[in-house]
Amino acid sequence: MLPLLQLVPAKLLNSSCSLKKTLQCSCSFHGIPTPSVQWWMGGVPVGVDGMDGSLQVTSTVLGPWANSTISLTEEPEMGMRLLCEGKNQNRTHALSILLMSRKSSLASQAFVKGLIQGAIYAGVVIALLFLCLLPLIVKHIRKKQAKKAAAIRAKNSSKVRASQELEMSLKPEEPGKPIVTTFSESHILEKQDKRAS
């Protein structure tokens, strides 16, 4: 009597992808009976052991193991799905791979470029605003300086006036000319008159 083979459902044992000059993805399945392997790209089946321009599929079967490799020579479209499916009469097992183009970095480059442009435009706007406000700022500063200068002049002119009045009171009397004195000076003069008498 012949021994009965035990049926084993198809199972994905190993998968890998590498990118060098081309993108290569591999899937390894195990099962009894030996699983058949089918690649799907964007929902469309890819021919086994064939070349389709930008795709090349190679498959090998060894006992209950089935290995298949797909090579993509062209860059995939953004968000393209690659599916590796292994199946036998007991089960179908699959691996889905989301492919991203190297060109997808262009989106981030565009974002960074837009961010830099935005920063430059903001800098230009701030510089223009500053240049528009500069005359007002200068006018405000000059007005403050003018007020300080006027206050200093007023303070100095009151000191000058007081010293001029003091000089006039100390001058000898000219006959027939009235003497102008301030309250404190007249008070001093009265005291001097009282001592003299």
Structure tokens at 162: 């007081």
Residues in the chain, overall count: 197
- pLDDT for the residue 28: 94
Nearest to 40 by CA among 48, 51, 30: 48
- pLDDT for the residue 2: 46
Please tell me whether residue 178 adopts helix, strand or coil conformation. coil
- pLDDT for the residue 158: 75
- pLDDT for the residue 143: 93
Query: What residues does each domain of the chain span?
Result: 7-97, 103-154
- Sign, CA dihedral 178-179-180-184, equals negative
- pLDDT for the residue 18: 84
Q: What is the DSSP letter of 158?
A: H
**Superfamily of domain 7-97, CATH level 4:** Immunoglobulins (2.60.40.10)
Q: Render each residue's pLDDT in the chain as its tens digit; 197 residues.
A: 445 668 888 899 888 888 777 888 899 999 999 999 998 888 888 875 545 567 788 889 998 999 999 888 777 677 778 889 999 988 888 888 887 765 555 556 677 777 788 888 888 888 888 888 888 889 999 999 999 998 888 888 877 777 766 666 665 555 555 555 555 555 555 656 666 65
Q: What is the DSSP letter of 74?
A: S
Where are the strands (E) in 20-91, listed by range? 23-32, 36-41, 44-46, 51-52, 55-62, 65-72, 80-87
